[in-house]
Amino acid sequence: MKNLSAQNILFTDFKLSGFYGLGEWRPFLFIPFFLMFLLSITANSILIHLIICQKSLHSPMYVLIGLMAVVDLILPIFFVPNMLLSFIFNWNGISLVGCLIQMFCIHYVGAFQSTLLLWMALDRYFAICKPLYYHRYMAIPNFLKFVVVPLIRNGLLNISMVSLAGKLTFCVTNIIDHCFCEHMALVQLACGDITINNLVGLLTAFLIPTADCIIITCSYIVIFASVFKSGKAHMKAINTCIYLFTYLLKMCKTICWFCLLDSSGICLSSSSCWSRGNALLRTTQTVSFHRDRHEGRQPHSRPSAQPSIASESRATARAHH
C-alpha cells in the first residue's frame, strides 16, 4: 500500500544532493570551488581581453582560442553559483522546467568544446597542408560552411535529448545525486520506459564529442604526415599544433574521468576544476605564442612575405624534380 501510494506521486520539484556524503564538512567546499570559479572568470577574461586588444592576434587560430575561452567562461555560470549557494545555505531545490533549462544550457554550450577543437584542427589543416589556399578556405563565407553543420547538429541533438526528458513522469524519487541537472541522472528517476532516452543520449554522445575527436585525430594524422614528408620546411608549423593536441588529450582524459565519477556516484561538478586550470593554460600559451611571434619578426623582415617565399621554393623544387 505504501509502495502504491509512492507510485502515484509525480514529482515536479527536485533536490540536488551533490557531495552530501561529506556531512558537516560540506559547507567548507564553498572556499575551494569559489576560488576556482573566481580563477576561471579572471583567467578567461584576461585571455579574451588580450585577443581583442592585440591586433596581431586577430587571426582565425586565436579567434577560435578566444571562443574556447568564452565557452569556458559561460559554462560554469549555469551551475556553479547555485552549487555555491547550496554549500552555504543548503538551497538545493530546482523545478523540472529549471532543471531542463539548465540541462540544455550545460550540454549545448559544453558541446562546443569539442566542436571548437574541430574548427581549430581544420584551421591547422588548411594552414599546413593547403597553405596556398588558406585565406580562401578561411574566408568567412567559405568557413561558414564548416560552422553551420556542427551548429545544427549540436542544436538538434540537444533539443531532442532535453525535450524527450521533459515528457517523462518522475515518481521514483525527487533527489538527483549530482550538483546540477545531468541528463542520465534525471532520466533514471523516471517511472516509465527510458529506452529511447538512453538511445538518444548515447547517440548525442557519439555524434558530438566522439565524432569530433575522430575527425580531429584523422586531421592531425594527415598534418603530421605532411610535416614529416616536407622535412624541416614545416617543422616550425608543428609547434602551433602541440597546444591543440595537448588540449585534445586533456579533454579525452577528462571525459574518461567523468565517466568514472559518474559510475561511482560522485558529483560531476568537478568538471569546473579542469575548466579553471585549462583557462590558465590557454592564457599562458597564448601570451607565449604572441611573444615568440613578436620576437621572431625583426624590422628587416616582412612576416607576410615569408610564407610566399617558402611556398615558391617548394614549388620550384617540385618543378625541378
Could you write out the DSSP letters of every residue in 69-104? HHHHHHGGGGTHHHHHHHHHH---EEEHHHHHHHHH
Domain assignment present for residue 308? The answer is: no
pLDDT (average), residues 230-244: 60
pLDDT at 61: 82
The pLDDT-based confidence of 255 (bands split at 50, 70, 90) is: low
Q: Which three cell numbers stand for residue 309?
A: 617565399
Full domain range(s) for residue 105? 13-292
The pLDDT-based confidence of 8 (bands split at 50, 70, 90) is: low
pLDDT (average), residues 182-197: 90
When computed from its CA atoms, the radius of gyration of the chain, rounded to whole angstroms, is: 23
Going by the DSSP 8-state scheme, the letter that residue 17 receives in this structure is -
Least confident of 14-28, 101-115, 117-131, 275-289: 275-289
Domain assignment present for residue 302? The answer is: no
* pLDDT for 235 beyond 70: no
How many domains is the chain built from?
1
Domain assignment present for residue 304? The answer is: no
pLDDT at 99: 93
Tens digit of pLDDT for each residue in 107-137? 999 899 889 988 888 888 888 888 888 888 8
Domain assignment present for residue 318? The answer is: no
Matching residue, cell 560540506: 26
How many Å apart are CA 207 and CA 153, to the nearest integer? 8
> Which CATH number do you get for residue 279?
1.20.1070.10
- Whole-angstrom distance between the N-terminal and C-terminal Cα of the chain? 88
The pLDDT-based confidence of 260 (bands split at 50, 70, 90) is: very low
pLDDT at 23: 78
pLDDT at 62: 86
Q: Kindly compute the dihedral angle of the four CA atoms of residues 76, 79, 82, 87, in this order, to the nearest 10 degrees.
A: -80
How many Å apart are CA 87 and CA 18, to the nearest integer? 9
pLDDT at 286: 52
pLDDT at 103: 93
pLDDT at 131: 83
Domain assignment present for residue 212? The answer is: yes
Least confident of 42-56, 185-199, 234-248, 249-263: 249-263
pLDDT (average), residues 20-26: 82
* pLDDT for 314 beyond 50: no
